[in-house]
């Protein structure tokens, strides 16, 4: 291996959004995560919904806009004439 081209590998502290902290090795100085093994549903067995970007709120806004758009559109006129079919012999 060449000397002086590899990044420094240090022991760093990882901090989760739930407050859990643990130490691991990394080339970064500090690591902040949103979900760890202490709060992830796979490890805890509990259902927990994480919506960090507000995706559900954005989706609900789109749904409401769609409903408002459909309500503002004028309904298509239907013809009052009965449709007749011709018999072909």
Measured CA to CA, the distance from residue 20 to residue 36 in angstroms comes to 8
DSSP code for 80: -
pLDDT per residue over 41-88, tens digit each?
A: 776 777 656 666 677 888 889 999 999 988 888 666 666 666 677 777
Alpha helix ranges (H) inside the chain? 41-44, 55-72
Give this prediction's pTM. Answer: 0.45
Q: In the prediction, which pLDDT does 32 show? A: 92
Domains defined along the chain, listed by start: 7-47 (4.10.80.400)
Higher pLDDT, 37 or 46: 37
């Amino acid at each position: 291996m060449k000397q002086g081209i590899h990044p420094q590998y240090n022991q760093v502290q990882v901090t989760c959004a739930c407050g859990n902290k643990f130490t691991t090795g990394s080339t970064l100085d500090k690591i902040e995560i949103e979900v760890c093994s202490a709060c992830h549903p796979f490890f805890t067995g509990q259902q927990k919904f994480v919506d960090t970007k507000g995706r559900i709120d954005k989706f609900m806004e789109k749904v409401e806009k769609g409903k408002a758009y459909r309500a503002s559109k004028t309904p298509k006129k239907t013809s009052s004439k009965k449709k007749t079919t011709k018999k072909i012999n």
